[in-house]
Chain A
Amino acid sequence: MTVRGRAFIAGAYEHPRREIPDRSVAQVHGEVAAGALADAGLSLSDVDAYFCDSTAGFGPISMVEYLGLRPRYIESTDTGGSSYLVHVGHAASAIAAGRCHVALVTMAGLPRSRSEAPVARSSGSPEAGFESTWGMFAAASYALAAQRHMFEFGTTSAQLAAVKVAASLHAQHNPHAFLRTPVTVDDVLASPIISSPLHRLDCCVVTDGGGAVVIVSPEVARELDRHMVKVLGQAEAVKHTDNGRITLLSTGAVTTGPRAFDEARISPADVDYVSIYDSFTITVIETLEDLGFCEKGAGGRFVQDGALVAPDGALPFNTDGGGLCNNHPSNRGGMTKIIEAVRQLRGEAQRAVQVPDCQIALAHGTGGSIGTRMASATLILGQDDA
């Protein structure tokens, strides 16, 4: 069964704040649920399917009660930062199967004001004894991938920095962005090394916040007075260490890209805008290669001359400023990737970075770590007539 054209994103909402010391995680879920439903022209009582990750209380058991929902379909697949792109795909499948009509996906977290380090989820996992024991953590994991990519393909720190520069040029136009000052390649290279070859400015921000989207059936979509965004394709995969034969040169996008493009019946050349998960600059370079926007190994050269800069670059990306500059709520950047893709397709991005005549957008999420194991998810969205 394909989801192509069987579901629409009717509502999307990103919490406007990046530091929220005065609210609980549940309160932020409640705010973004209300925001996305209002955006769609719906209310909590219309929701018959609910999706969230495992970080809010007892997952959907807590949140369904808190929000006062009566869903007939619930799901809490937790694939880290890519969870919400998985949720949208599963919501579309459930809608296509006739199990629900209005699916609400919410996410929220407060790592900035609560000084929570990115959660090391390995404790109790079978791999636990073999990684953190040696001082492994998120930035180091991505640094291992970056180092090998440089060795294999000649990728440079300046090319990694070009990803951050593009994000910062976009973030200056976003009044809500956490970091709004444009930076140069030299600024990135002059920032302290966190874990070589990654500098501080190769790393995403840590922010409070959240977001939500509402996915509806074609029948509901027809009744709503809102610019509908069609779900064209979605794919997910776990890419892991493969019995100790890990490659650091590719991500799960190698698998999800072709599957999602196939379902959407398009090719990378058809895509007008991309939201690419940007936990670190190397994440973007490897993902662009794996999705087929350039040859494997050519990601550094692809991004170095402004290809990612909206609106005129060859492949405008993360026009909200992405996780590198705008927002990475709960240390999970997948939801904001979906929301900015929806804005682009609706023509509601910031004017300076709106891609003209945006027909097809791709959002890609990464959960876990490209230096060990990850869950990748690709979502392709388009105009109603796409």
Chain B
Amino acid sequence: MSAPLPTPQPERTPETDAFWAGTADGRLPLPYCPDCDTVIWYPREFCPQCGRRSVTWRTASGRGTVYSYTVVHRTSGPYRDAVPYVLAYVELDEGPRVLSNIVGCPPDDVRIGQPVQVVFCDTGAGSALYRFEPCSPTGMAADRRG
């Protein structure tokens, strides 16, 4: 039986501080460029599409689909005892494909194209890790944080 997923503190920078602060409040803030109507990922203070610096924030819906995934069976570092765990690219409804974990279901149940919904795992240090779990049959994720 594998251990619960660890919640290591993310490496924060002045540029990503507002993003991580948002996750601690249970939101997934997405930088948005109004000039070229683009959601930016990963967060930065300018738009890598047009180079302008008029970036604002939008809160993600938290919904997306699995673009690709892998079930990790062997690794080192903080996740060593958490195997098997699922690492995935989740394509957010807003566009970006973000790297994350799929939780809340057996690893072997994950599929490409599966609808998922964000959950937040508090790091205890003013940030939370955004992870995703399968949407319930009604299309809403279970009301659970962990």
Contact = CB atoms under 8 A, between A and B. Distances in A.
Interface in A304-361: none
A135 B78 contact: yes
Interface string A123-157: 11011111111111101100111011001000000
The interface centre, meaning the residue of A123, A132, A196, A244 with most chain B CB atoms within 10 A of its CB, is A244
A196 B83 CA distance: 12
B146 to A, nearest CB: 16
B96 A245 contact: yes
A243 B99 contact: no
Interface string B1-37: 0000100101111011000100000000000000000
A386 interface: no
B71 A195 contact: yes
Interface in B68-86: 68-79, 82, 85
Contact of B48 (A117, A130, A196, A243): A243
B96 A140 contact: no
A290 to B, nearest CB: 18
A248 interface: yes
A220 interface: no
A190 interface: no
Given A129-B11, A243-B49, A136 B99 contact: yes
A8 to B, nearest CB: 40
A271 B104 CA distance: 50
B70 A244 contact: no
Size category of the binding interface on chain B: 35 or more
B73 A192 contact: yes
B57 interface: no
A194 interface: yes
Given A126-B42, A144-B89, A244 B96 contact: yes
Contacts of A372: 99
Contacts of B97: 241, 244-246
Given A137-B77, A144-B69, A129 B16 contact: yes
A321 to B, nearest CB: 24
B42 A244 contact: yes
A196 B74 CA distance: 10
Contacts of B77: 132, 135, 137
A61 interface: no
A238 to B, nearest CB: 13
Contacts of A148: 67-68, 112
B68 A144 contact: yes
Contacts of B85: 135
A193 interface: yes
Question: What 4 A-B pairs are tightest by C-beta distance, nearest first?
Answer: A244-B41, A244-B96, A135-B79, A143-B70
Given A132-B77, A144-B87, A192-B73, 13 more contacts: A117-B76, A127-B42, A129-B16, A134-B131, A137-B75, A143-B70, A147-B112, A148-B67, A151-B112, A193-B74, A241-B97, A243-B38, A244-B95
